[in-house]
Amino acid sequence: MSLDYVKFTPGFGKFMPKEYRDMVEHGPFGKKTAVSQVGTFKEIMEEHPMCAGCAMTLFIRLAFIAFPNPEDTITVGTAGCGRLAISQAAVPFVYGNYGDQNGVASGLSRGLRLRFGDKPKDVVVMAGDGGMADIGFAQTLHSWFRKEKFTTIMLDNEVYGNTGGQESGMTNKGQVLKMAPLGKKFEKMDMLGMAKVAGCAYVATVVPNNPRRVESVIKKAILIAREVGPTYIQAYTSCNIEYAIPTDQVMQDAKDVENDRYKFQEYITDEAKEHLATLYGYKEYLPKPAAAVTKG
């Protein structure tokens, strides 16, 4: 939880694996790295067992690049595919019981605030749609109602992917899946609407076929959660296995779904805008100069 935890004990560097040395020497710690520079610095995510061509993997990869201070961040996850990648990064990862992630993150972020005072320590929850909208639904909503200051990211693949294709609250109506052979009978849940009602200061949808946008919404969500209140990002991260999308068509699918039901939406409270403008120099949120009064 500080820059020191990634550094080598003097004299021991030479015994460390190359990947580790590269990460310490050329990783993003203590620097400002951006999606536009990928391929030239060592990313903090290492190899993992996620499926080839998985859009969720791409999203998680971009998320790690977007963290404003990876050295001061803790990720929280739960059962589901995402944890297989989230846990393979040089950022401490807490594995909550299935559905507990927002409860665990609440305690963690409060504890960090007590321990470190004003020094920002970011807590980021990343969990699947089943873990968040079904099993962890109460804990998710209650953390928002309590205005817990951390970021919640739903990896929405519209299915229970890790357990082989059951429908979730986030599956679309009529969708036939391996373990929903008659098709889902109910509408996709409106978690975005609920996040707003429950008091999130920032709510956004995003699809990984726009890496720069993924980077921008994650940065904003984390920075706002530091002082203003809970933030929620809902990311479409298709399951190419359960939805039988050929891996080279995953980005085409992301584009189609973005145009269909995942159009970019961003909701930000005035308080959050002011916070980004004054503390982090977001020019687009600076108050507009008052228009010149026209003489009448």
Ligand X SMILES: Cc1ncc(C[n+]2csc(CCOP(=O)(O)OP(=O)(O)O)c2C)c(N)n1
53 binds, among ligand X, other proteins, none (CB under 5 to 8 A by kind): other proteins
Contacts of ligand X in 86-115 (CB under 6 A): 98
Q: Are 268 and 220 in contact (CB under 8 A)?
A: yes
How far is it, in rounded angstroms, from Cα 203 to Cα 191? 10
Q: Does 239 bind other proteins (CB under 8 A)?
A: no
User: Candidates 126-134, 192-200, 205-213, 224-232 — which segment interacts with other proteins by CB under 8 A?
Assistant: 205-213
What length does the chain have? 296
Cα atoms found within 13 Å of the Cα of residue 60, Cβ hemisphere only: 33
Residue 214 structure tokens: 């993924």
User: Candidates 25-33, 158-166, 218-226, 272-280 — which segment interacts with ligand X by CB under 6 A?
Assistant: 158-166
Q: Does 259 bind other proteins (CB under 8 A)?
A: no
In whole angstroms, the minimum distance from the beta carbon of 24 to other proteins comes to 11
Of positions 7, 25, 107, 179, contacts other proteins by CB under 8 A: 25
Of positions 36, 163, 247, 265, contacts ligand X by CB under 6 A: 163
User: Candidates 58-66, 143-151, 173-181, 228-236 — which segment interacts with other proteins by CB under 8 A?
Assistant: 58-66
Q: Please report, for residues 243, 252, 263, the alpha-carbon distance to residue 211 in angstroms, rounded to integers and kept in the order given.
A: 22, 14, 15
In whole angstroms, the minimum distance from the beta carbon of 63 to ligand X comes to 14
Of positions 28, 29, 61, 134, contacts other proteins by CB under 8 A: 61
Residue 81 structure tokens: 């595919």
Beta strands across the sheet bearing 202-206 = 93-95, 73-77, 122-128, 151-156, 231-236, 202-206, 266-268
In whole angstroms, the minimum distance from the beta carbon of 48 to other proteins comes to 9
Number of residues that bind ligand X (CB under 6 A): 17
Strand partners, 125: 76, 152
How far is it, in rounded angstroms, from Cα 188 to Cα 190? 6
How far is it, in rounded angstroms, from Cα 38 to Cα 36? 6
Q: Does 28 bind ligand X (CB under 6 A)?
A: no
How far is it, in rounded angstroms, from Cα 199 to Cα 144? 6
Q: Does 251 bind other proteins (CB under 8 A)?
A: yes
Q: Does 80 bind ligand X (CB under 6 A)?
A: yes
How far is it, in rounded angstroms, from Cα 268 to Cα 255? 24
Residues in contact with ligand X by CB under 6 A are 79-82, 98, 128-131, 155, 157, 159-163, 168
